[in-house]
Structure 1
């Protein structure tokens, strides 16, 4: 039944997206080209509405049950996120209003739904209790991941594809852990997102807009929490690895703006996809490269979760961090002059 529902969501999304496209033009939810945008013509956004409606269809068909009653709070939060996204796609809300919508959705699942990271088991014994910080930390995770997905939504099919890869990993690991609720929710989201991707891959016929990017980010943030909360410190790193591409891009965007003394909310054209385009890769090649990176992160997360020794986990993590730093320096994600590791390697070669 699970795989049949995934297929139904996929077909529903394919059928709904053209209707949402027409609606986007009617209500003025369009994206006009400017110096920051890659596209050259007016494009309909609001595509996330097709993903959301397809998700609802799958949810009410499958009716996944959570032993802790998480389903309703997640749905209420998703409605808040969708309303925020639709309004932004229509009239471009201020950053504060958008953040308010994200915080409201996060509060629903954290306060009403009880989805909180309350403690972490430490590798050498004992627990790290978060106490009063459990609520703000959980909210910070949800809002942070929601915005991370939104930030990478800069090329045709990029956010939808990266999110799909993340959902495959989260759902697959949920099956391995015997978590039927997270696996069901993840597959429903996956089918809905892949159906939309049919129209969103380059050259895109419609954008997901903030409606889609915020919804995908919110759902991925919540599902990753449900799958990996209240576990060991090592295991808690798994969702961070799964979402390595959007998290890394967001992290280095913050570093870049601090280095250049710019406001953290200042837009720029130095995100991962912008850097790859400047290196000469085509639109389609850039998207496929980032898909590949996301798949590697997903595979690394699975390997990381299966390593039985703590030192083995640290080794996998060290290799991953080293690879991220090399890529960041190679493509100039922070700045063209930021190359500490590469300069150190070059200096070592010269000294020899």
Structure 2
């Protein structure tokens, strides 16, 4: 899977950014003529809503469109492989897009689409997660009965986690860009030349969207965009582990730390309350930070400022773990300790946040 070199060219990244940016501008421009592109009114009253006005939530069209159209240009010997991967990814993309267009796709259906796309990828390319960085478990990963279920858990979980953090302007796209750059850097250090470029293509496509999404939130990723980005990047991480034996799985996890950790917190608190793990709530980290900014700093009815400011506040915490992943790319034990340390810091901060907000309330 993705084991041939790509002719390097910065023009690829510029073209993807321009294409994604242009598609986003076009969507924003026509949304006034096509009201169904501007989101559903009921979205504003959803329990997890962080926005104040109907906005196009089909930015995933721009990201996926840029990556899909680019499959016909300049990829040399991996053009066929890349095109097949885009085709498999399209199943998840179109299920998410149906939800974005207002056709009810339950979390279970979207998760089933992510599982199906992963199964198709495994069947098509004959690869799965080769190791976990856990000595007792790694010898069993070569057996499909162990490796395939764990691969599905990882890829479907990362896909869903990007959707869960897509709550404030720029957060999910910033996280995706940083994760993609970290994967690219790890690939370069480890000598896996193909994966130096493919994550950069994702980063470039997402950056074109980011320029329209942040700070004013003129367009959102939607389920199609968030699920697709998480799915593609998670499989790039697996391809890196397959083709670069020295890379630590824990270092790869560090590149996805923020979405993975926030999702783990969501599952933990919902199980603790005996609630449905797929039920939305307003207790994600970015939601608490935004309310804290409104209560302690900005005052009420300042959502238009608190929303993008939340991403700015969280940016250091989003960026630092992937940097650690790059630095510890082949140090399995140290990368594992870094995951534990970042996880502990996040858990302690999350637990302390309500008390701090009450203490510093304006």
Q: Same fold (TM over 0.5)?
A: yes
Q: Distance in 1 between matches of 2:259 and 2:111?
A: 18
Superposition deviation, residue 190 in structure 1: 0.8
Q: Please tell me whether residue 21 in structure 1 is matched to residue 28 in structure 2.
A: yes
Q: Distance in 2 between matches of 1:314 and 1:14?
A: 37
8 Å contact from structure 1 (residues 123, 233) kept in 2: no
Structure 2 residues not aligned, in runs of 5+: 1-7, 295-305, 357-362
Superposition deviation, residue 279 in structure 1: 1.9
The equivalent position to 1:34 in structure 2, one of 37, 45, 59, is 45
The equivalent position to 2:120 in structure 1, one of 96, 102, 108, is 108
Cα deviation per residue 1:127-160 (whole Å; 9 max; x = unaligned)? 3445111111111111100000000000111111
The equivalent position to 1:135 in structure 2, one of 138, 148, 172, is 148
| Counterpart secondary structure, 1:42 | coil
| Counterpart secondary structure, 2:45 | coil
1:170-319 equivalent positions in 2, closer than 5 A? 170-229=183-242, 235-280=248-293, 282-305=306-329, 307=331, 312-313=334-335, 315-319=337-341
Cα distance change, pair 213–312 in 1 and its aligned pair in 2 (3 A)? closer
The equivalent position to 2:91 in structure 1, one of 62, 75, 80, is 80
Q: TM-score, normalised by structure 2?
A: 0.83
Superposition deviation, residue 285 in structure 1: 2.3
Q: Distance in 1 between matches of 2:93 and 2:137?
A: 42
Structure 1 residues not aligned, in runs of 5+: 338-352
Which of 226-235 and 158-167 deviates more? 226-235
Superposition deviation, residue 327 in structure 1: 2.3
Partner of 1:57: 69
Cα distance change, pair 314–17 in 1 and its aligned pair in 2 (3 A)? closer
Which of 287-296 and 157-166 deviates more? 287-296
Cα distance change, pair 199–115 in 1 and its aligned pair in 2 (3 A)? same
Q: Distance in 2 between matches of 1:326 and 1:111?
A: 41
Partner of 1:342: none
Q: Please tell me whether residue 89 in structure 1 is matched to residue 96 in structure 2.
A: no
Partner of 1:346: none
Cα distance change, pair 319–142 in 1 and its aligned pair in 2 (3 A)? closer
8 Å contact from structure 1 (residues 120, 127) kept in 2: no
Cα deviation per residue 1:145-202 (whole Å; 9 max; x = unaligned)? 0000000000111111111111111111112222232222111111110011111012
RMSD of the alignment, in Å? Answer: 2.7
| Counterpart secondary structure, 1:305 | coil
8 Å contact from structure 1 (residues 80, 105) kept in 2: yes
Cα deviation per residue 1:226-261 (whole Å; 9 max; x = unaligned)? 112487798111121111100000001011011111
8 Å contact from structure 1 (residues 121, 232) kept in 2: no
The equivalent position to 2:178 in structure 1, one of 133, 144, 165, is 165
Aligned residues: 331
Q: Distance in 1 between matches of 2:75 and 2:88?
A: 17
| Counterpart secondary structure, 2:234 | helix
Which of 58-67 and 278-287 deviates more? 58-67
Partner of 1:340: none
Q: Distance in 1 between matches of 2:234 and 2:19?
A: 24
